[in-house]
């Protein structure tokens, strides 16, 4: 692996790395535009603070679009940006790989 490839991987991981970001992108891609509370209910174990921080980071990196409808009561929806949409099939392939890999019995290595 050359230095350019390593740099690109490091850059990608700074955007989507961490425990929740890939899952957030996955769920937004599955659901389409989705509201904060629906997303929070969908992702098991995520806290409100962590979801807020992760969404803010994904919006800042142009992976997710935040749309504020300026209504009362307030309504905000999240959807994938163009960059998020190009990343989604990769995450979908990763999910498929995980389903295949995790469903097989593991060989014991002694």
- Of the two residues 3 and 100, the one the predictor is more confident about is 100
pLDDT at 4: 58
Q: What is the pLDDT of residues 15-65, one digit of tens each?
A: 888 899 999 999 999 988 999 999 999 999 999 999 999 999 999 999 999
pLDDT at 2: 59
The C-alpha atoms of residue 15 and residue 62 are separated, in whole angstroms, by 9
Closest by CA position to 24, among listed 3, 4, 52: 52
The C-alpha atoms of residue 61 and residue 38 are separated, in whole angstroms, by 22
pTM summary value: 0.83
Q: What is the pLDDT of residues 1-13, one digit of tens each?
A: 556 556 888 888 8
Fold observed for domain 3-102: Arc Repressor Mutant, subunit A (1.10.10)
Neighbours of 51 (CB within 10 A): 17
């Amino acid at each position: 692996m050359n230095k350019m490839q390593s740099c690109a991987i490091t850059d990608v991981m700074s955007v989507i790395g961490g425990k929740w970001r890939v899952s957030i992108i996955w769920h937004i891609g599955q659901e389409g535009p989705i509201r904060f509370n629906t997303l929070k209910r969908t992702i098991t174990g995520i806290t409100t603070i962590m979801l807020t921080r992760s969404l803010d980071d994904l919006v800042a990196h142009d992976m997710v679009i935040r749309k504020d409808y300026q209504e009362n009561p307030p309504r905000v929806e999240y959807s994938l940006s163009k960059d998020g949409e190009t990343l989604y099939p990769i995450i979908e392939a990763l999910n498929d790989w995980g389903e295949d890999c995790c469903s097989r019995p593991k060989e014991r290595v002694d």
